[in-house]
Amino acid sequence: MSAKHVKRSAPKRRAAKARPKTAAVSKTISKTLSVEQSQADKVARGAFAALILVVVLAVLYALGVPARIGQAAGETLGDMGFRVQSVDVVGIERMDSKPVYALALDQRASALPLVDVEGIRGRLLDYGWVKDARVSRRYPDTLVVDILEREPAALWQGKDRLFLIDEEGVLLDRVPVSDMPDLPLLFGDGANQAYPELVRLLDGEPALRAQLASARRVGGRRWDLNVQSGEIILLPEGEDDARAALAKFMKMDRATPLLGLGIERYDLRVPGQAIARVPGLSGEQD
């Protein structure tokens, strides 16, 4: 039999895989998901646009364009959760913290972006203890108050009341006599305001500053210094003259001790002289 008469059987076709009968269901799910995703995207775009609008309005408010718009923007942010819920006060060691907390807690439930931090700072600076203050917002819901306290440097006896003051002469607080700290005591009208001058005088003589027990402001013009060994040093008027007289006296004291000898007072008001007054003799009057 020749090759051309050989009948070849047709190749067997592979059976086609049966397609799952879920095509209609898949289309339904796809259509449903498509609608839900579209709605979600729309909501997300709307929320993002609203947030951008609020931020823009807040910026406009900060720039003063106009106040009512900014107020509305701030309240909107407050409604989104940015309201004062807590207060964090730091830096207080000596002063009474109650007034500070009371001032800050007045802002509770206020929209945090609308809190007048500079206004609060200005009111805090009215307290004698507060040398400086910083008020800031910690988002989402905290108002932070950072206090820098003044350092007590001396006591001032004024009109039957005893006050703590710092080196600038600022009144810090009243002090009961029973709770007097170990600080120099000042007497005389205006002694607290003139204390910075006394500080400058004593900075040049640290040995005398360590021995100072009290100082009296006389006639609003000059100082009498009371040292721990019992002597009184009468300084002349004028800061420059007082500094020169005190420097000369302390130089003599370092060469030949003058303090601790039982002298009642040394009068340095006469230029170039240190007149010793012994106990029992009446002194000159100012």
Instruction: Report yes or no: 277 and 266 within 8 Å, Cβ to Cβ.
Output: yes
Q: Which fold does the domain 154-277 belong to in CATH?
A: Rossmann fold (3.40.50)
What integer best gives the mean pLDDT of the chain? 79
Per residue in 131-148, pLDDT (tens digit) is 999 999 988 889 999 999
Which has more confidence, 226 or 159?
Answer: 226
So what's the pLDDT on residue 99? Answer: 92
- Position 200 pLDDT exceeds 90: yes
Q: Which fold does the domain 82-149 belong to in CATH?
A: Ubiquitin-like (UB roll) (3.10.20)
So what's the pLDDT on residue 115? Answer: 86
Distance CA 185, CA 176 (A): 14
So what's the pLDDT on residue 285? Answer: 45
Per residue in 80-95, pLDDT (tens digit) is 546 888 899 999 999 9
Peptide bond into 271 cis (omega under 30): no
The encoded tokens of residue 150 equal: 């003044």
The share of the chain scoring above pLDDT 90, in percent, equals 53
So what's the pLDDT on residue 37? Answer: 59
Q: How confident is the model at residue 110 (pLDDT cuts 50, 70, 90)?
A: confident
State which of 83-97, 210-224, 271-285 shows the largest mean pLDDT: 210-224
Q: What average pLDDT score do residues 150-175 get?
A: 92
In degrees, to the nearest 5, what angle opens at C-alpha 77 toward C-alphas 76 and 79?
A: 65
Strands 161-165 and 154-158, bridge-based pairing: antiparallel
Per residue in 20-78, pLDDT (tens digit) is 444 444 454 444 445 455 555 545 554 554 565 456 556 655 665 555 544 544 455 44
| Annotated domain spans of the chain | 47-80, 82-149, 154-277
CB atoms within 10 A of CB 264: 14
